[in-house]
Structure 1
Amino acid sequence: MTRPIARRRLLSLALAAALAAPVQAQEFEPFTVSDIRVEGLQRISTGTVFTYLPVERGDLLDRTRSSEAIRALFRTGFFDDVRLERQGDILVVVVEERPAINRITLVGNKDVKTEDLTKGLANIGLAEGETYDPMALDRVTQELLRQYNNRGKYGVTIRPTVTELDRNRVDITITIAEGKASKIRDINIVGNDLFTETQLRRGWESNTSNWLSWYRRDDQYSREKLSGDLEKLTNYYLDRGYVDFNIESTQVAISPDRRDIFVTANVVEGEVYTVSDVRISGDTVLPQEDVEKLLMIAEGDTFSRARVEFTTDAITATLGNIGYAFAQVTPVPTLDRDNRTVALNFYVEPGPRVQVRRIVFKGNTSTADEVLRREMRQFEGAWYSQAAIDRSKVRLQRLGFFEEVDIQTPEVAGQPDQVDVVVNVKERNSGQFTFGLGYQETYGLITSIQLVQNNFLGTGNRFSLEVQNNSYSRQFGFSYTDPYFTDDGISLGYNLSYRDLQYASRDSNLARYDNTVASADVQVGIPLTETDTVQFALGIDRNEITTSDGSTPPPLIEYLVATLGDRAYFPCFDVDDDDDETTPPENDDDDPGTPDQQACGNLRQWNVNAWRLQAGWLRDSRNDYLMPTRGSYHRIGGEVVLPGSDLEYYRINYSYEKYLPLASWLVLKIGADVGFGDSYGDTAKSNCPTFDNEGDVITDTAKCGLPFFRNYYVGGPGSIRGFETNTVGPTYSFSGSGFPQPLGGSLKTLGNLEFIFPTAFETRAARLSAFVDVGNVYLGYDDWEAKTLRISTGISLTWQSPMGPIAISYAIPLQYERSDRIERVQFTFGGTF
């Protein structure tokens, strides 16, 4: 006899004895109760006992009433023993309390979280501080066994231990030995003559062991998964007209060692049925011809349950969007088995037309109701619309202020034609003050101080102040954006920034020149539709460029000379001035007769002032900002430096992302990023010499194109992984430079194909992916050649950690040149540039 069975029998005997004993013990004559006294209580109050005791002062107590009283107190579950005694006309209730649960400890559970198990135990009545009930502990054991068996773990053993403590308390320890999950070794479908087993099992969650089972765990048997797969099997036949299809029996066998599962399904396929007639009846509300347009199955078609359900859903959704929230569409089939036909009648019951009485927001302790209400597309006093409610939920989720958004539509009591819309949100911390350290392989150690409030004072406005520093650059930024500057959703933003980039100070994978930029702009966004927005910005830049002869590539210096004119060298200092202590000793020949001279260094500096106008169109239908799994993103943007600026040029960019869910565990991402820039006006009329890699001039009459400090760069995280950051594309080498310096280009072409595994981790903040990156940059569009594209493939892990985004990738270049700088493992921590 197993221990659980033995325990149950002993408890049953004990309970029977406890219930029977009082009847035998009551030898006193019936009497009228003048008072009631309770003895033996420790934790439970006397009032609680009186609440459950069906005897009061003045009642006549006999054998029947005493038995009822004892049974009532036993049913409370508070007591191990109950006795009734008589002292004169006083009824004495003597009880022995069950112990209280001091602590519950779970040991050995790995497949099921402790938090989930603890909640389940509490639902059954086993929780710390509650009264210990041996029957509840037995129920817990059986429930745990059931949960693990449903996960395919038939070798699990569960051993509860109860330790008695002082003051009538107990500790409960539940030791779980999960064992290994049983594997599906064989799935056999018997009776399928028309379709192969491969066809029938396509899309099943249950499978035999394969190379992806380590991730998908599809070879672990689960009763729920198998039930769902058998339903898919039925749907497969019904969608192809086999109305008489039936699964006659299902056998699940387990090996003696409980390691292997064998599944067999016996099926009868039947014959194909066609549709003989399709009608719509009932109150369609809309004109009959409009509803008939929603039919997705017609007379003469092969019967398909999927198309019947699509038709039902389409009619229900259409009526739901015009206020009929409780509309029902019932397809009524009439079978003619002799002729193998089905007549379909879609019966429509619209129910009452429903208005939304009130919209209520709950859980938004920091965010003003107005911020949520302006995102709602369902309005108070308007007809109910499921499409508007669904869109409202998406807009609230895309704000980024909430971890969860749930919308319910309860009926108004006594008003069948009215509902309330209750929006429950769980807020996340939308403000951040961060002082942190980051590291990126190219830029080195990054220190940053960042103050960001995406929901400033609960208004939905965004405020940001940032200071960043690494080994060769400093950046400062301030921005403020009001997404609803007007009630129509027109946004207004302000940006100020300052960057001091010391490219010449070290190997930065960029051409060697120093660049200091101060800029300010005003941005306006105008929504056109739910997903479309046009954006405009007007800004001013002051760009200070410092070059160094012998270090900065000559094509860059010649571009500045040709478009802006030459500049004097600096720093300058006296030579042979014996009376000046500041003269470097190596420049002093100690000969007072030598005339004094002045020498200058090899640095030159240009200031470039520009008025900048930007415009763009954005369409964003992604379901999530940080970790999307469906939807698309398009952005076309243009930037023009206006006439009258020191340099006149433009840039055009197009970015695209498409997310296609292929399965619940797999998402395909397709991405593209194309950019082109050129000069115009007086800048385009200037002639710039071109050089080869040896420094020789090819021609000195070429058109001056896009300024080099506005060139595109690719390579590294965010573009083509597997190559060092910024190193893909045109380079320039000359004596003394030390290495080929990347120049960037005026034409950028990037493509990306990525298979994302969004459920690889239990948190939505992390995901694993396999990718293929392709692209390059070119000096101009005439230089583009498919054979020069760089291609790499690999795997990537991204995590939106509390300290900032972390990305790690391992890539293998597939198409590259011998001179390319390869970097297979790349990672970023903290902000990116």
Structure 2
Amino acid sequence: MKRIAALILLASLSARALAFEPFIVSDIRIDGLSRISAGTVLNYLPVNKGDRLTNDAAQRAIRALYQTKFFSDVEIDREGDIMVIKVVERPSIAKLTLRGNKDIKEDDLRKGLKEIGLSEGETFDRLSLDRVQQELIRQYYNRGKYNVSVDPHVTNLDRNRVAIDIEIREGKVAKIKEINIVGNKAFTDKEIRKDFESDTSNWMSWYSKDDQYSREKLSGDLEKLQSYYMDRGYADFGVDSTQVTIAPDKRAMYIAASVKEGEIYTVSDIHLLGELVLPEDTLRQLVFQKKDQTFNRKAIEASSDAIKGILASIGYAFAKVTPVPKLDKDKRTVDLTFFIEPGKRVYVRRVVFQGNTRTEDDVMRRQMRQLEGSWFSQPAIDRSKIRMQQLGYFKKVDIDKKLVPGTEDQVDLTVKVEEQSAGSLMFGVGYSQYSGIILSASVSQNNFLGTGDSFSVAAQRSDYTTSISANYFNPYLTDNGVGIGYNVGYTKSNYGDTNYNFVNYESSTKSFSTFLSLPITDFDNVRVGMGLSSNKINLTYQTQDLSTGQIVTQPLSPQVLIDYQNAIGHKTIHSWTGTLGWTHDTRNGYWAPTRGGMISLTSDIALPGSTVQYYKLFGEANHYWPIGAGFVLYLDGQVGYGKTYGQKYDFDGGTTYTKGQSVDFPFWENYYAGGVRDVRGFQDNTLGPRLCVGTDSNGRPIQPDSKGQCNNSVYTYAQPVGGAFKVLGTAQVFLPLPFLKDVNTARVSWFVDVGNVYKDYSSFKASDLRASTGLSLQWQAPIGPLIINFAVPIRSKEEDRHYEERIQFTFGSQF
């Protein structure tokens, strides 16, 4: 009705314009403007000074000004040779208020309103407000809220302004009371509905929301129903009708679907037609639906995708593969034809990067395996995307292809990225049950000035350690990907302040190392390094005997460690080490992979000339598998081994060592197990061998009892000392939780950990392995990484009781 009224008004004005004779416009005057400038009006006006104004020209001018939506009334008049335009401005929107919306976020609502011109500062149009009202109702209907009401209120203000208040009463979501499938005989309702997103109310509906009706969910469920039957041979299955009934109170929904099952079909023959490009035998290997098998739509679709995939790998970027089934209803067979249209073979003309406001194009280009000027290859593009995701600089990476206008054999690739913070300037406070309060200050950048180089300078203080470190890595010292890195650090520790979950001694370590990173293949990397370190270790402390006044040396650490230090004859350990490592990485992401895995082998050797000559070997293998419905399975295994070589010690006075024996593995290089990142459910570093401080009356080291306690010792519980051999296995399932939409930021998993540390390889016993299970939350919080575990030991011994922990957490910057 409002549009008709506007047309009647326009017709009356046009008729009014016919009253004057055509004339030459000497000047133009505009009456009625308050907010809009005369220049703005003249820009839209199709009449200028010196033009001859006719009735047709006047009508065009009126239509042009109406189309600006600035005015509710426009008149054209004449005073002599002056063209007079009289306008009534539409009011401006001074204030826009939204009330009652909970299901749709206000930011999303305001963004949608702005797109149709309904926002503060814009010109008010009643028709736009009506469209908004209807669109909001439609959106709530799609969410199953059929008793929603949207009431806009417009209040006139001074200076030709209005205030708009949109009041939304969302109401309750309509709940599904019944779902009836009629006509199914081959399968039960339970079988065909097990993958439905829609369901009637049940004990899990508060969490899954499956009893809330949605048109989109129902459409998807009917598609799943059709797939269920067609994947099992019912090639002529169909949904005859669907009926959705809503109760009068709009709170209950009743769904009924009538189906026609049809018969089970087998595939009588398979043909490949069209322009095959590749040998037919090669293409037939990619057809998963076989002759004489039961018809299976999933296998047919997978076959089409596989053929398109192999064609895309050799340049046919826009290949089409159309399966055409021909049903013989009498014989219940299907004659299946794959019609192949490869299209033109194309090459990539140009690769363009968008969204990288910090990262240089060259940093991204060197990750590309699809090169400009070469044939299009989908596997190369997919690999390029994964390589960029592995950098950790980008929250999101998409690669789009588009034909070059005017050509049929050229495409341009557009790499669109959404950058995320790759560096930080942090002054923080963290907490760990192992380290206590952590004070830290750091400057780190994994993408320094957008070059891809990384560096960090950090200082940290906790209950037991103070450390300063600096690190730098250039991943592309050469164009072929050889990288170089440097590390320097100083650490002073007093492990006696760790609540007995670490062997008690004091150390002061200075270190420097450098390494080269050598790419072998796209997935394999070798690292070669050298390092120097000086480690001053103190295992005793001095005190004054008050009765004699003499200075007495008392043990801080178990006697075995003191004897070992005496054996090597040095309190300051000097080492120069060589490192050789290999990594094979196929993961599809940096922070939160969902498929692929990593295998790494590392060897560190203290070279001849070091105070103690030893080597350490460490291997780890893990893999991620998506197992459907958002679940991801993760398996990880680790083995660590250490041993000394080529040295004998010369020590006669100890109680534990004999002259001429090989030097044992240095205790300061031991592996440890247990903790928030290891075998969860046990305190950090507490698994494995434990020793008591002091000796008995015979001068022999005190041994812990079955409860892990030390008799006749100032330390009640034995101290964990780690070992030269470590075994660890983890099985983890990452859970798709609706309140954790961004898995790159937070993930929740159920885990089972198995592992332990042994004095050496010969001490390994499977019966000594510890195990735990529980839930873990990992969150990349603004303050730094946060890990919270709820773990329950499921395999432990009496001596472990003192070290078990159900709740473990750590947060803040860790280096």
TM-score by length of 1: 0.87
2:55 corresponds to which residue?
61
2:674 aligned to which of 715, 718, 725? 715
Report the Cα distance in structure 1 between the residues aligned to 2:514 and 2:623, rounded to whole angstroms: 30
1:263 aligned to which of 251, 255, 259? 255
1:104 CA drift (Å): 2.2
2:758 equivalent to 1:753: no
Report the Cα distance in structure 2 between the residues aligned to 1:257 and 1:688, rounded to whole angstroms: 93
1:133 CA drift (Å): 0.9
1:253-281 alpha-carbon deviations (Å, 9 max, x no partner): 33333333332221111011221221212
2:206 equivalent to 1:226: no
1:813 aligned to which of 777, 789, 793? 793
The amino acid of 2:438's aligned partner reads I
2:555 equivalent to 1:550: yes
1:32 corresponds to which residue?
22
1:456-481 alpha-carbon deviations (Å, 9 max, x no partner): 23321112222111222111212221
User: Quick one: structure 1 residues 73 and 832, their matched pair in 2 at CA, closer, same or farther if it must change by over 3 Å?
Assistant: closer
1:145-544 maps to which residues of 2 (within 5 A)? 145-210=137-202, 212-505=204-497, 507=499, 509-544=501-536
Q: Give the SS at the match of 1:155.
A: coil
User: Quick one: structure 1 residues 228 and 689, their matched pair in 2 at CA, closer, same or farther if it must change by over 3 Å?
Assistant: farther
Contact 1:726 1:742 in 2 (8 A): yes
Q: Give the SS at the match of 1:659.
A: strand
Moved more, 491-500 or 254-263: 254-263
2:705 corresponds to which residue?
none
Contact 1:687 1:704 in 2 (8 A): no
The amino acid of 1:727's aligned partner reads T
2:564 corresponds to which residue?
559
2:704 corresponds to which residue?
none
Q: Give the SS at the match of 2:563.
A: helix
Q: Give the SS at the match of 1:410.
A: strand
1:717 CA drift (Å): 0.7
Report the Cα distance in structure 2 between the residues aligned to 1:514 and 1:366, rounded to whole angstroms: 44
1:655 corresponds to which residue?
620
The amino acid of 2:680's aligned partner reads R
1:245 CA drift (Å): 0.3
Q: Give the SS at the match of 1:225.
A: helix
The amino acid of 1:725's aligned partner reads D
2:749 corresponds to which residue?
769
1:804 corresponds to which residue?
784
2:718 corresponds to which residue?
740
The amino acid of 1:645's aligned partner reads S
1:595 corresponds to which residue?
none
1:828 aligned to which of 804, 810, 815? 810
2:567 equivalent to 1:615: no
Contact 2:647 2:663 in 1 (8 A): no
Report the Cα distance in structure 1 between the residues aligned to 2:634 and 2:203, rounded to whole angstroms: 23
1:213 CA drift (Å): 4.0
Contact 1:542 1:607 in 2 (8 A): yes
Report the Cα distance in structure 2 between the residues aligned to 1:27 and 1:454, rounded to whole angstroms: 70
1:46-89 alpha-carbon deviations (Å, 9 max, x no partner): 45555666777424328xx8777655544443322334445466
The amino acid of 1:26's aligned partner reads R
Report the Cα distance in structure 1 between the residues aligned to 2:199 and 2:691, rounded to whole angstroms: 56
Aligned length: 775
TM-score by length of 2: 0.88
Contact 1:648 1:683 in 2 (8 A): no
User: Quick one: structure 1 residues 104 and 684, their matched pair in 2 at CA, closer, same or farther if it must change by over 3 Å?
Assistant: farther
1:638 corresponds to which residue?
603
% same residue: 47
User: Quick one: structure 1 residues 662 and 292, their matched pair in 2 at CA, closer, same or farther if it must change by over 3 Å?
Assistant: closer
Moved more, 27-36 or 242-251: 27-36
1:494 CA drift (Å): 1.6
1:204 CA drift (Å): 2.8
Report the Cα distance in structure 2 between the residues aligned to 1:683 and 1:458, rounded to whole angstroms: 52
The amino acid of 1:655's aligned partner reads E
Contact 2:17 2:59 in 1 (8 A): no
User: Quick one: structure 1 residues 139 and 408, their matched pair in 2 at CA, closer, same or farther if it must change by over 3 Å?
Assistant: same
Q: Give the SS at the match of 1:186.
A: strand
1:758 CA drift (Å): 5.1
Contact 2:275 2:340 in 1 (8 A): yes
Contact 1:687 1:701 in 2 (8 A): no
Q: Give the SS at the match of 1:325.
A: coil
1:618 CA drift (Å): 1.3
User: Quick one: structure 1 residues 682 and 66, their matched pair in 2 at CA, closer, same or farther if it must change by over 3 Å?
Assistant: closer
User: Quick one: structure 1 residues 495 and 109, their matched pair in 2 at CA, closer, same or farther if it must change by over 3 Å?
Assistant: same
The amino acid of 2:789's aligned partner reads S
Report the Cα distance in structure 1 between the residues aligned to 2:47 and 2:489, rounded to whole angstroms: 82
Report the Cα distance in structure 1 between the residues aligned to 2:416 and 2:356, rounded to whole angstroms: 8
User: Quick one: structure 1 residues 686 and 647, their matched pair in 2 at CA, closer, same or farther if it must change by over 3 Å?
Assistant: farther
1:137 CA drift (Å): 0.8
User: Quick one: structure 1 residues 201 and 701, their matched pair in 2 at CA, closer, same or farther if it must change by over 3 Å?
Assistant: farther
Moved more, 375-384 or 791-800: 791-800
2:695 corresponds to which residue?
none
Report the Cα distance in structure 2 between the residues aligned to 1:91 and 1:514, rounded to whole angstroms: 96
1:613-650 alpha-carbon deviations (Å, 9 max, x no partner): 22222122222212222221222222222334222222
Q: Give the SS at the match of 2:450.
A: coil
User: Quick one: structure 1 residues 158 and 545, their matched pair in 2 at CA, closer, same or farther if it must change by over 3 Å?
Assistant: same
1:726 corresponds to which residue?
685
Q: Give the SS at the match of 2:722.
A: coil
Contact 2:649 2:660 in 1 (8 A): no
Moved more, 506-515 or 244-253: 506-515
1:572 corresponds to which residue?
none
Report the Cα distance in structure 1 between the residues aligned to 2:600 and 2:40, rounded to whole angstroms: 69
1:582 corresponds to which residue?
none
1:671 CA drift (Å): 2.4
Contact 1:688 1:701 in 2 (8 A): no
Root-mean-square deviation (CA), in Å?
Answer: 2.9
1:375 CA drift (Å): 0.8
Contact 1:689 1:701 in 2 (8 A): no
1:109-153 alpha-carbon deviations (Å, 9 max, x no partner): 222222221221122231222211111111111111111221222
Contact 2:619 2:639 in 1 (8 A): yes
Q: Give the SS at the match of 2:384.
A: helix
Report the Cα distance in structure 2 between the residues aligned to 1:774 and 1:267, rounded to whole angstroms: 51
1:594-630 alpha-carbon deviations (Å, 9 max, x no partner): xxxxxxxxxxx61222232222221222222122222
Moved more, 130-139 or 276-285: 276-285
User: Quick one: structure 1 residues 12 and 411, their matched pair in 2 at CA, closer, same or farther if it must change by over 3 Å?
Assistant: closer
Q: Give the SS at the match of 2:392.
A: coil
The amino acid of 1:247's aligned partner reads V
User: Quick one: structure 1 residues 720 and 163, their matched pair in 2 at CA, closer, same or farther if it must change by over 3 Å?
Assistant: farther
Report the Cα distance in structure 2 between the residues aligned to 1:278 and 1:28, rounded to whole angstroms: 75
2:9 equivalent to 1:18: yes
User: Quick one: structure 1 residues 217 and 299, their matched pair in 2 at CA, closer, same or farther if it must change by over 3 Å?
Assistant: same
Report the Cα distance in structure 2 between the residues aligned to 1:284 and 1:552, rounded to whole angstroms: 76
Please list every run of 5 or more consecutive structure 1 residues that lacks an aligned counterpart in the other structure.
1-8, 566-604, 692-696
Q: Give the SS at the match of 1:409.
A: strand
1:625 corresponds to which residue?
590
Report the Cα distance in structure 2 between the residues aligned to 1:445 and 1:117, rounded to whole angstroms: 44
1:719 CA drift (Å): 1.0
1:516 CA drift (Å): 1.8
Q: Give the SS at the match of 1:457.
A: helix
1:775-786 maps to which residues of 2 (within 5 A)? 775-786=755-766
Report the Cα distance in structure 1 between the residues aligned to 2:8 and 2:588, rounded to whole angstroms: 63
Contact 2:647 2:662 in 1 (8 A): no
Contact 2:18 2:55 in 1 (8 A): no
1:689 CA drift (Å): 8.2
1:137-178 alpha-carbon deviations (Å, 9 max, x no partner): 111111111112212222332222222222212222222232
1:485-522 alpha-carbon deviations (Å, 9 max, x no partner): 22222222122222111123563521111122222222
Report the Cα distance in structure 1 between the residues aligned to 2:451 and 2:81, rounded to whole angstroms: 72
